[in-house]
Structure 1
Amino acid sequence: MARRARQETGWRGEKPGLCLTCRFDAKGIANPVSEAPVRPHDRLETEQPTSIVMDEERLEAYLNLIRELLKCPNGEEGRILQENRELVDAEFLQVCATIGEQMAEEGRENEARFLQELVRVLGQGRNREGATPEDYFQFLLEVLATLDSSGDPNVVYPLLQQNLDRFDLTLAESLRAWVSQTLEYMELEQAQSIAAGLGNFGNLIKDCPLGSRAENIEHAIVAYQLALEIYTPQQFPQEWAGTQNNLGDAYRNRIRGERAENIENAIAAFQLALQVRTREAFPQDWARTQHYLAIAYCERIRGERAENIKNAIAACQLALQVRTREAFPQEWANTQICLGAAYSKRIREEPSENLEQAISLYQEVLQVYDRQVFPERWAMTQNNLAVAYSDRIRGGRAENIEKAIAAYQLVLEVYTQKQFPQEWAGTHHNLGSVYYARILGERVENLELAIGCYREALEVTTRAAFPQKHADTLFTLGLAYRDLGQLADAYSVFTQAIDTVEEIRQGIIVGGDGDKQKLAEEWQSLYRNTIEVCLEREDWTGALEYAERSKARNLVELLAATKLQPENIPEDLWHRYRDLYQQWWKLQQMEDSRSSAAPDSITETPTAKLRTLRQQLDRLIDEEITPHDPKFRYSQQITPITYRDIQGLVNPKTVLVEWYITYKGIHSFIVTHQGTHPQVLTTNPDAPERLDALQEDYLEHYLRRAEDWQTQLPHYLQELSDLLEVPTLLAAIPKSCEQLILVPYRALHLFPLHALPLGDCILSDHFPEGIRYAPSSQILQLSLQDNAPVANSRDNENHEVFFALQNPTADLEYTDLEVEAIQTVFTAPTILKQDKATKTEFDNRQPQLATTNIAHFACHGYFNFNNPRSSGLILAGSQLSDTEDPETAKEGSADLSPAIRSRRGTFDADKCLILPEIFNLRLPQCRLVVLSACETAITDISTTTDEYISILAAFFFAGSRHVLGTLWAVNDISTAVFMVRFYETLFAKPSPPVTLALKQTQDWMREVTVARLQDWARGCSLLSETGKARIVGRFAWGYTADYEPYTHPYHWAAFCVTGQ
């Protein structure tokens, strides 16, 4: 599994990625032409927005003021604006809006929001001084009257030019208010006329070269949405479909909001348009919308990439049934280019043939787009041809690269920096990439040429204007520096790229963890190469810090967003924010676990409930939190953990070992209390490949041949010990160390590292206080910052609040014995037993969980390797019969089935406790959660980003100081014995820490004989007489007295503890 993932995503560590210079419109796929719902002659070609033109000194003064505002401490903004009041004018607001757009375009959402809010507040003041709502109404009436008279943009644009100061949020609000007030008194024919005007206004404002392009698109979206309140598919099918088409185009080109979400909305709108635009009734319109849908699928971020490309190809092929070369040569060429781009991206199914197909398509297009008549289209097509040649599999590699270089050089004859700065920069990036890969010529000279090209590209693709492209170019520049041996330069640009990527990530809000996950996977090779360069430079501290920055970012951000309370936020307000945030996050996790199929309507992606929660959260931040803390939105950004912070997690008798994997080996970072830097050990270079093979074989046996897996478990552990070179690791750890904290990485999360064999003993034997785990050092650090006082188990353990689920499915015979024994430790335990352990009853007990000190779940658990977020615990009443099945889809939920299908049967997920719901629990007083169930510590290892997704992680996030979970499907009898012994040990006097109690229980299980086990059962004060008799009787026949029934690691090694 991991091996396949590495092959698919790891190529960027071998060569720079080719940035397809232009989005599809710049590659020869024309931006969709806006369609007026009534008059075809109102369709306008898309134009580029004009740039800001003003006195350079004035502009620089504006920019300096913006920089000062972004960097100033909270509360200083008013003073700074007052001191610079001569600069606060209409042009300043325009510059703020434009810079905000640039920051928002590819992800710098926090700074963008600040500037947008600044424009809104200052703009309101200007509006109060001048324009009134009536002025806005009059302006709208004037525009619509002009549209009615001519629809000519040359007539309308001068009117828009004169009213640029009204292109703000008030315009959209006035538009909505005007429509709602007007429609109430209108006849249908009049309403239709208004809808036509709104559609035309949307077309004009969307493509208007004046003012703020981002705001123009927002106004267009509002206009289309309002037109759709009048146009229904029943009364005005053609107009409704045309408006849906235009709305999809607006969403696809939208600057504000999150790119992934905008594309989903575009796809939904195009698909709705196609419900009316059939090939039979409207062939040209049908083909046009199919073409636009193909572009959207090519650009889609969510869903499976292969499926998106397949859909794009299918849509192109449909469009070409109407868009023939003879009838519509330019439209044919545009769709051919889109089809070629899709084939170029189709790398899973016959990649060689797909690239040949793309090359053939581009060459055909060049027969229509010649340089003299269509120079821009010709250059765009040459660019795509160069990309295809650089990736080409057939033919000589050296010759293909030379063809790519020649094509890019032709492109630059048309794309000059002055006329086409973005395309010029993108072409230089791509040319640098092929020089980097060039076979002919001297290697050093080719690398220097590549560096020169990348530096040229960075003149345009700045961090402020194009952060995604900026990061991509920095990454490839770093690879070139690395290969030249200029490691300091490589480190510098790699770290700049990481800062940019993390800034982009901070801007993803609505898209949630799914979109962040895709971004993180895309950039894993950047982190890996940065860490490799740090290691080559012997910068051990830097290597560990960047390894940490690459791990479990979704969980780190969730912890920070809900647990780091700013000092100036009132307690009740903070609790409201945290509750709302976690409700939103829980629902987002549900969305992420759904099918990635395209939405049926805009309102379904995400669900209306998800949108409502996000709006409520934003409103709470804007209206109630921001007055207390104006920079709250971006104060929640995560400060990367430093080596000193990591070192602060250990004491003189504790050592932390954190792993990271690169292509050069498996690296162990050893952090001690005294060290000035971590000690780094690196395995043989073949260790990562061996680990991949071990993981694949391990899971193959575990999932399909359980008996063989159990037999081979000691062999797997020995092999892992060998490839991790554990004896060498152990020798590097100070002899004074009594406890170990382990931070695994990717596949290492699957295995009981505490049980790795070392000759006649195991790793934990060398650490008297035991071994505990952490998802990452930063998650451990964040969890420590939220510690509320809990009951002292050493002094008043019998008064601790205990809550348990006991055998909800009534098929775990020894689970009842287990819980009945454990509850005797506590004075007033709360037990949900068998059929009482339902989801409804559990939900009703959540207020009680908030005061629980120890929670024990003795039930069935499952980890879903295909969809980890649907993992959970099985509760009473959830199992379905063979013939029974819940509805396969609920309203607004696409095709999410609430059924959980596991090796133990089929269960209704709505009646189980699944992972997103566990994350949403509140356990502020809980010092220990014990998951006496199967697979509760298994972690999702299918991604390259080491996101810590597990049942155990969910309970840890919910607030428990320690969580004890299992790494595989455990045995009912041995688990019951283990748990009773564990609680007996934990509540002995003096009471040991959780980690030590676990170690002592495991040691006992490894060595206990039948005779000792029976003696223990007879004397155990926790067991009832019936319980004692059952355990003694279980071993009464067929065993010798000195037989060790639980010495096999299957019975004891699965249990591990994560925590403080």
Structure 2
Amino acid sequence: MADLEIANRKYEEAVNMVPKDHPDRTHLLQSLGTEYYATYQETGAIADLEVSIQLFQEVLAMLPKDHPGRALGLQKLGVSYQDKFREFGVMADLDVSIEQHHAALKITPKDHPDQTRRLQNLGAAYYDRYRRTRDLEDLEMAIQRLQEAVSIIPKGHPNRASQIQAIGIGYQEKFRKLGVMTDLEMAIQQYQEAVNITPQGHPNQASQLLNLGLGEQERYQRTRAISDLNIAIQQYEESLSMTPGDFRDKPRRLQNIGAAYHDRYRETGEIADLERAIQRLQEAVDTTPKEDHPDRANHLLSLGAGYHERYEKTKVTADREMAIHQYQAAIGHPSSSAYDRIRPSSYLITMHAEAEDWSSAYEAASTAMSLIPLLTPHSLANSDKQHLIIEVAGLISNTAAAALMAGKSTYEAIRLLELGRGVIIGSSIELRADISNLQLNHPQLAEEFIRFRDQLDVPIRQVYQSSMPTLMARQIDQRYDAARALERTIRTIQNLPGLDRFLMAPSEDEMKAAAVHGPIVIITVRDYRCDALIIKKDELITLRLLQLDLEDIQAYTANLANPDSLLLEWLWDTIAKPVLDSLGYTQKPDDCWPRIWWIPTGPLSRLPIHAAGYHSRKSADTVLDRVISSHSSSVKTLIRSRQRWTEERVARESGKAVLVGMRETPGQTDLPFVPQEIDELEHLYKSMQLQVIVPSPNQKQVISALNDCDIFHFAGHGWTNPLDPSRSALLLSGENLTVADLFETNLHSRTPFLAYLSACATGQVKHGGLIDEALHLIAAYQHAGFRHVIGTLWEVNDQSCVEAATTTYEWIKNKNMSNASVSEGLHRAITKLRASWISENAAR
């Protein structure tokens, strides 16, 4: 240390003696910056890091663009900013780092000896950004750059092992993201190779053993083979024994071994393993270098889980209090990622709920919901957002219940739900928001918003289709930069008078306005309470559903393959009747039918509340006999769709109806009534003065036809992907039309009238972790821009589809394609089908 201080003073003296225009000044400044950076690396003193950055910036300001030493200056500045990001977690520092690394690599000849180092630096920077944003493209770019670096490092080179290890880290993260076992095996293979080629006693041996242990532990978590976990613990302990006491990454190593002991406790029940876990995890928290370190929330969460587990075993109150303290500290840690801060929320809310401390449960829920927008920035692809939402699934159902138990208003409960449900669709809605008021009063800001929005509202595959690494990297960075610029623009707009609620969750008055055509009923379920949150045009009320029970819901949803009248009767008794009675809808209306919009949450989203009732009684004890029902995924989605409503009829001279029928679909049963359905609808459309378009039933042709239609009707098979709802699809010839395709289709400039999906399960989401995201075909067509969408929850009878469609369209035709005619026509069609079903059953 003393030697570095002496060197710094000597360099400073030399710099001060050299005139500003002297040719050696840049060399001396760069050397001085390098010495300050070395001092920072040894001591961790941030002031030295800041000085090194200033000196490197001064060097670059003096060097001509074509100077041969410029790449080295860019490299040093990029590394310094990357270290600054790792110290404080400020994304702007990492953005600067990536920019400098790119610039350095761009002007480095392919055969330059520093080419490898610069590829490594850029790969590491992309990996750092992935850890914060969870954007898969950043991770892919990190792996690609590191593989390029390894490919040009000679065998036997001292740096080869560390770069192979870095590739292993990338593959392990990819496994965590996608769950593909070959990625984990590839990671372990890279780790083992790094260990094999590293000499005994080498300074990097500790980190290589650590990563090999991480791979083995991850494999245990997938295979549950205790031998993998035992090997991981052995490698962790060996790695820790080689780690110096003041080593900067020691807290992360302590957390890894603590988590492994915790895993082994869960496997064996040996309390000694839990005690070791807590000890190591406490050391990890205690040795984290700064309160604002970005890893701190993750360390606090792990420690909290250890204390929580011990409380469950011993019921010692002190352990419960320690667990709550760690969870609260993690949630409130501003420098950590939103992902790491949200994860403790469910545990904390549950612990407060168990103790009936509702005020604290509400505070935890409110804080967690405020972080949800930070979890899914606009730059992320929807597939990446899905993975993040899955990680916090279960949190949403707690929020409204916690708010109500804490005595908060109905509006506050709905506000929290709106923040946490339909996050992916909500994020996309922002990109397609109506900004006419902004354009009128602040045209320059509106132009800025449109510019950044349009950069983001393009198909992801178009952004990342390049096979050229440099171009692909630039496209990724441009999308990321556009997202940050859009967020800054939105904040600027929200600071303007009268625009403070721009793109915000709906206000109470906006919710009431949305109920002007009929009440909106949100059903929430939790093990300690179930409620109907009812939005009326003049008030918001909470109706406690005392007969509704989460265990019953789970039992019914587990047997949806064979739904029957018992399910519909149970839905009537527990949900529909109490709600309709409270709204005064107690009898069959004589003339003017009331409307109601249902928004079920959690597992209730899979159940047909609109069909609830005792249909065999021939009484008014059914939803169908009291109201006309519609569904929505959230209040904000309903408000957005209403903005597209107009009472104008389709212009007859330009109206087009697109018809797609799939009587035969590869791998599916034939649908013999599809030709009849298509034929009858073609005649109906012509009588409505609509031009009929029948595209070839392939993805590209159908999407092309959607861009210029007013009605789209599909008769065929729908398919729900149980693992990735964005891949659920209408089945066509060749490539299918998926939810993801529709999310990338923007028809809002035309707002077509109706998409009628005469297919099975077009409103279904099977993935439990994404049930509140409503990523199904009905929502996708609505998001694309259709004013109205008709679809199904379950399998439907082929012949019944023909009858339902013709009855619905006849009514729409008679009512001149008014907005109300869609739900009215469908209601009449279902009522007619039910009457036939009752008659047929009575005759048997």
Shorter-chain TM-score range: 0.7 to 0.9
Letter in 2 for 1:736: G
- Which residue does 1:686 correspond to in 2? 551
Give me the whole-angstrom Cα distance separating, in 1, the residues matched to 2:566 and 2:513.
Answer: 33
Q: 1:94-128: per-residue Cα shift (whole Å, max 9, x none)?
A: xxxxxxxxxxxxxxxxxxxxxxxxxxxxxxxxxxx
Give me the whole-angstrom Cα distance separating, in 2, the residues matched to 1:210 and 1:610.
Answer: 21
- Which residue does 2:7 correspond to in 1? none
SS at 2:648's partner residue? coil
The answer as to whether partners of 2:233 and 2:260 remain within 8 angstroms in 1 is yes
2:810 to 962, 966, 984: 984
- Which residue does 1:517 correspond to in 2? 386
Letter in 1 for 2:655: F
2:356 to 485, 495, 520: 485
- Which residue does 1:436 correspond to in 2? 308
Give me the whole-angstrom Cα distance separating, in 2, the residues matched to 1:227 and 1:256.
Answer: 23
The answer as to whether partners of 1:590 and 1:916 remain within 8 angstroms in 2 is no
1:776 to 629, 634, 646: 634
Give me the whole-angstrom Cα distance separating, in 1, the residues matched to 2:291 and 2:574.
Answer: 63
1:789 to 646, 649, 653: 646
Give me the whole-angstrom Cα distance separating, in 1, the residues matched to 2:124 and 2:703.
Answer: 47
- Which residue does 2:168 correspond to in 1? 294
Change (3 A) 1:756 1:1000: same
The answer as to whether partners of 2:660 and 2:715 remain within 8 angstroms in 1 is yes
SS at 1:679's partner residue? strand
Q: 1:180-233: per-residue Cα shift (whole Å, max 9, x none)?
A: x45xxxxxxxx5x66556545655665589999866655554443334334455
Change (3 A) 1:537 1:455: closer
- Which residue does 1:496 correspond to in 2? 367
Work out whether 1:285 is the aligned partner of 2:159: yes
Change (3 A) 1:292 1:1000: same
The answer as to whether partners of 2:521 and 2:597 remain within 8 angstroms in 1 is yes
The answer as to whether partners of 1:810 and 1:834 remain within 8 angstroms in 2 is no
- Which residue does 2:420 correspond to in 1? 550
Query: Structure 1, unaligned stretches of length 5 or more?
Result: 1-43, 45-136, 183-190, 699-711, 881-898, 901-908, 1010-1041, 1049-1060
How far has the Cα of 1:760 moved from its partner?
0.9
The answer as to whether partners of 1:933 and 1:970 remain within 8 angstroms in 2 is yes
- Which residue does 2:567 correspond to in 1? 720
2:142 to 266, 271, 275: 266
How far has the Cα of 1:672 moved from its partner?
4.9
2:127 to 236, 252, 255: 252
2:208 to 335, 338, 342: 335
Give me the whole-angstrom Cα distance separating, in 1, the residues matched to 2:702 and 2:484.
Answer: 33
The answer as to whether partners of 2:782 and 2:788 remain within 8 angstroms in 1 is yes
How far has the Cα of 1:504 moved from its partner?
1.8
How far has the Cα of 1:780 moved from its partner?
0.7
Aligned residues: 786
Change (3 A) 1:409 1:194: closer
How far has the Cα of 1:150 moved from its partner?
11
SS at 1:733's partner residue? helix
SS at 1:677's partner residue? strand
SS at 1:771's partner residue? strand
- Which residue does 1:1007 correspond to in 2? 835
The answer as to whether partners of 1:1007 and 1:1047 remain within 8 angstroms in 2 is no
How far has the Cα of 1:605 moved from its partner?
6.1
SS at 1:937's partner residue? coil
Give me the whole-angstrom Cα distance separating, in 1, the residues matched to 2:256 and 2:192.
Answer: 19
- Which residue does 2:118 correspond to in 1? 243
How far has the Cα of 1:612 moved from its partner?
5.7
How far has the Cα of 1:995 moved from its partner?
1.4
- Which residue does 2:106 correspond to in 1? 229
Letter in 2 for 1:359: I
Higher relative contact order (CA 8 A, sep 6+): 1
SS at 2:774's partner residue? coil
Letter in 2 for 1:389: Y
- Which residue does 1:821 correspond to in 2? 683
- Which residue does 2:515 correspond to in 1? 650
SS at 1:516's partner residue? helix
Letter in 1 for 2:204: E
Letter in 2 for 1:721: L
The answer as to whether partners of 1:863 and 1:938 remain within 8 angstroms in 2 is no
Letter in 2 for 1:587: P
- Which residue does 1:275 correspond to in 2? 151
Letter in 1 for 2:395: L
Change (3 A) 1:753 1:319: same
- Which residue does 1:32 correspond to in 2? none
Q: 1:735-783: per-residue Cα shift (whole Å, max 9, x none)?
A: 7333332213355444544334525159755544421111112211232
SS at 2:457's partner residue? helix
Change (3 A) 1:524 1:758: same
CA RMSD of aligned residues (A): 4.9
Work out whether 1:567 is the aligned partner of 2:429: no
Q: 1:22-80: per-residue Cα shift (whole Å, max 9, x none)?
A: xxxxxxxxxxxxxxxxxxxxxx9xxxxxxxxxxxxxxxxxxxxxxxxxxxxxxxxxxxx
SS at 1:438's partner residue? helix
- Which residue does 1:304 correspond to in 2? 178
- Which residue does 1:755 correspond to in 2? 611
Change (3 A) 1:936 1:505: same
Work out whether 1:805 is the aligned partner of 2:658: yes
How far has the Cα of 1:258 moved from its partner?
3.7
Letter in 1 for 2:391: E
Change (3 A) 1:915 1:474: closer
Give me the whole-angstrom Cα distance separating, in 1, the residues matched to 2:328 and 2:706.
Answer: 61
- Which residue does 1:531 correspond to in 2? 400
Give me the whole-angstrom Cα distance separating, in 2, the residues matched to 1:422 and 1:771.
Answer: 48
How far has the Cα of 1:526 moved from its partner?
3.3
The answer as to whether partners of 1:463 and 1:471 remain within 8 angstroms in 2 is no
Change (3 A) 1:915 1:691: farther
- Which residue does 1:96 correspond to in 2? none
- Which residue does 2:786 correspond to in 1? 960
Give me the whole-angstrom Cα distance separating, in 2, the residues matched to 1:626 and 1:417.
Answer: 33
The answer as to whether partners of 1:934 and 1:970 remain within 8 angstroms in 2 is yes
Query: Structure 2, unaligned stretches of length 5 or more?
Result: 5-19, 41-46, 586-593, 665-673
Identity of aligned residues (%): 18
Change (3 A) 1:1005 1:144: farther
How far has the Cα of 1:679 moved from its partner?
0.4
The answer as to whether partners of 2:720 and 2:765 remain within 8 angstroms in 1 is no
The answer as to whether partners of 2:755 and 2:781 remain within 8 angstroms in 1 is yes
Letter in 2 for 1:978: A
Letter in 1 for 2:146: F
- Which residue does 1:994 correspond to in 2? 822
Q: 1:510-568: per-residue Cα shift (whole Å, max 9, x none)?
A: 22333333333323343333334335446572444433332111212322332241633
Give me the whole-angstrom Cα distance separating, in 2, the residues matched to 1:453 and 1:746.
Answer: 29
Letter in 2 for 1:956: Q
Letter in 2 for 1:789: T
Give me the whole-angstrom Cα distance separating, in 1, the residues matched to 2:372 and 2:601.
Answer: 20
Work out whether 1:736 is the aligned partner of 2:584: yes
How far has the Cα of 1:726 moved from its partner?
3.6
Change (3 A) 1:1007 1:583: farther
